[in-house]
Chains A and B, each alone.
Chain A
Amino acid sequence: GAVVSQHPSRVICKSGTSVKIECRSLDFQATTMFWYRQFPKQSLMLMATSNEGSKATYEQGVEKDKFLINHASLTLSTLTVTSAHPEDSSFYICSARVQGSINEQFFGPGTRLTVL
C-alpha cells in the first residue's frame, strides 16, 4: 500500500508553546488529507479535513484558531497546535486520500503529543 509519514513521531513540549506536526504522502499525491485525534482507549475522532490550496474544514467542537492546518502541496499537510495545554496531549494521526480516488485512504503512523 501507499506510504504516509508523520513527523515527529513523538513530541513533549511545555504548556503555552506551539507544536507543528507534518504529514506527507511519500509515493502518491493527495488532494485531501485528514487529521484525527485519539485519546487513550478511544476511537479516532476526525478533527479536520484539509484540501490542497484551500482552507481546512473543521469538525464541530474543534477550534480552528488553535489547530492550524496548512495543506500547501499535494504531498504535505501540517497541523500546528498553538498555545498547547496539557488537555491537548493526545495521539494525532493523519490520513491521505489518493488523488482522483474517493475511497483509497492511507494512514500515517501518528504523533504522540505530551504537553507538560
Chain B
Amino acid sequence: KNEVEQSPQNLTAQEGEFITINCSYSVGISALHWLQQHPGGGIVSLFMLSSGKKKHGRLIATINIQEKHSSLHITASHPRDSAVYICAVKRGYGGSQGNLIFGKGTKLSVKP
C-alpha cells in the first residue's frame, strides 16, 4: 500500500461543478502540499498545509491531521482547471532532507 493515496485517479466534470479530490496518508507528516501539473508538464504549487484550511480564489484545501486526510476542493470548475492534481506529504519533523512522498495524482478533466 502506498504511503500517500489519492482518489479518484481520474475525474471528469462539467463546467461549473464543485470538485473534491482526496488524499490520505499513512505516515506522520509536518506538511502537506497540493500541486497542479498541466498537460505540458509544468508544476504549480497550490497550497502548503500543516493544519486547518486554506483558500485561494476558487480553490480550498483542508487537512485533518488526526484522520491523516486532506481534500482539495474546486468551486465553479472551469475547463482551464483541467490538470493533474498531486498531493505530496513531508515526512516527520526535524531537519530531514527532501522526504516529500508523492501521490500518483488525480487527473481532472472539466468539460465545457
Contacts and interface: CB of A to CB of B under 8 A. Distances in A.
B102 interface: yes
Interface of A: 1, 9, 32, 34, 38, 42-44, 46, 49, 57, 91, 93, 95, 102-110, 112
27 contacts: A1-B45, A9-B42, A32-B97, A34-B98, A43-B86, A44-B102, A46-B98, A46-B100, A49-B97, A49-B98, A95-B100, A102-B90, A102-B95, A103-B30, A103-B31, A103-B50, A103-B90, A104-B48, A105-B33, A105-B45, A107-B44, A107-B45, A109-B41, A109-B42, A109-B43, A109-B44, A110-B43
Interface in B9-37: 30-31, 33, 35
Given A102-B95, A103-B50, A109-B41, 8 more contacts: A44-B86, A44-B100, A46-B98, A46-B100, A93-B43, A102-B94, A105-B45, A109-B42
A34 B86 CA distance: 17
B98 A43 contact: no
Given A32-B97, A103-B90, A105-B33, A43 B104 contact: yes
Interface string B53-76: 000000000000000000000000
Contact of A105 (B48, B86, B105): B48
A61 B88 CA distance: 22
